[in-house]
Structure 1
Amino acid sequence: MDAFFCAAILRRFFHIITDKYASYVAIRAMLVFDQKKYVMYEHLLHHALDIARNQYGCIALNEVITDADDPFYRNLLLDLVARNSLCLSNDPSGNFAVQHVLTLYDLRCTHNVAVSLRGHCIDLSFKKYGSYIVEKLLDTEESMDVVVTELLECEGGRLMRLARNEFGSFVVVKALRVTREINRVDLFRGLVQKLMPFRQLLLRSHGSNIANMLESTI
Structure 2
Amino acid sequence: MAITDSPFSMSTMFNALHQIRFSKGISGAIPPPGFSPRASSSAVTNTRLDQLFNIMTSGEGGMAQFKEMISKFDRTELQLLVSLLTSHSDYFVEIVRNKSGSRRVQKLLGISDDVDAFFYAAILRRFLNIMNDKYASYVAIRAMVVFDQEKKYAMYEHILHHALDIACDQHGCIALNEIITDADDSFYRNLLLDVVAQNALFLSNDASGNFVVQHVLKLCDLRCTHNVAVSLRGHCVDLSFKRYGSYIVEKLLDAEVSMAMVVMELLECEGDRLMRLARNEFGNFVVVKALKATQKMSRVDLFGGLVHKLTPFLHLLRRSHGSNIANILEPTI
Cα offsets for 1:113-142 (capped at 9, x unmatched):
000000000000000000000000001112
Confirm or deny that 1:22 pairs with 2:136.
yes
Does 2:123 correspond to 1:9?
yes
Whole-Å separation in 2 of the counterparts to 1:37 and 1:22: 17
Which residue of structure 2 lines up, in the alignment, with residue 171 of structure 1? 286
Read off the aligned partner of 1:123 and give its amino acid letter. Answer: D
Q: What does residue 83 of structure 1 align with?
A: 198
User: Structure 2: which amino acid aligns with 1:97?
Assistant: V
2:161 corresponds to which residue? 46
- Aligned position for 2:218: 103
Partner Cα separation in structure 2 for residue 137 and residue 11 of structure 1: 38
> Comparing 111-120 with 152-161, which one deviates more in the overlay?
152-161
Which residue is 1:215 aligned to? 330
RMSD of aligned alpha carbons: 0.6
- Cα separation, 1, equivalents of 2:318 and 2:279: 9
- SS of match in other structure, 1:99: helix
Counterpart of 2:262 (choices 126, 143, 147) is 147
TM-score, L = length of structure 2: 0.65
Q: Provide TM-score, normalisation by structure 1.
A: 0.99
Tell me what 2:63 maps to: none
Q: Greater relative contact order: 1 or 2 (C-alpha under 8 angstroms, separation 6 or more)?
A: 1
State the distance in 2 between where 1:145 and 1:118 align: 11
Q: Name the residue aligned to 2:176.
A: 61
4+ residue runs over 6 A deviation: none
Alignment of 1:127-206 (within 5 A): 127-206=242-321
CA distance in 1, matches of 2:249, 2:278: 14
Q: Deviations over 1:9-50 (max 9, x none)?
A: 001000001000000000000111012111111111100001
**Unmatched segments (≥5 aa) in structure 2:** 1-114
Deviations 1:68-87 (A, max 9, x none): 10111100000000000000
Alpha-carbon deviation of 1:182? 1.4
1:55 alignment partner, SS class: coil
Cα distance in 1 between the residues matched to 2:218 and 2:277: 24
CA shift, 1:156, in A, is: 3.5
User: In 2, Cα distance between the equivalents of 1:205 and 1:160?
Assistant: 11
Secondary structure at 1:156's aligned position in 2?
coil
Instruction: Measure the CA separation in 2 of the matches of 1:186 and 1:121.
Output: 20
Displacement after TM superposition at 1:109 (Å) = 0.2
Q: CA deviation at 1:216?
A: 1.3
Name the count of aligned residue pairs. Answer: 218
Question: CA–CA distance in 2 between the matches of 1:176 and 1:85?
Answer: 24
Aligned mates of 2:117, 2:191 — CA distance in 1? 24
Q: Which has the larger radius of gyration?
A: 2
Any stretches of 5+ residues in structure 1 without a counterpart? Answer: none
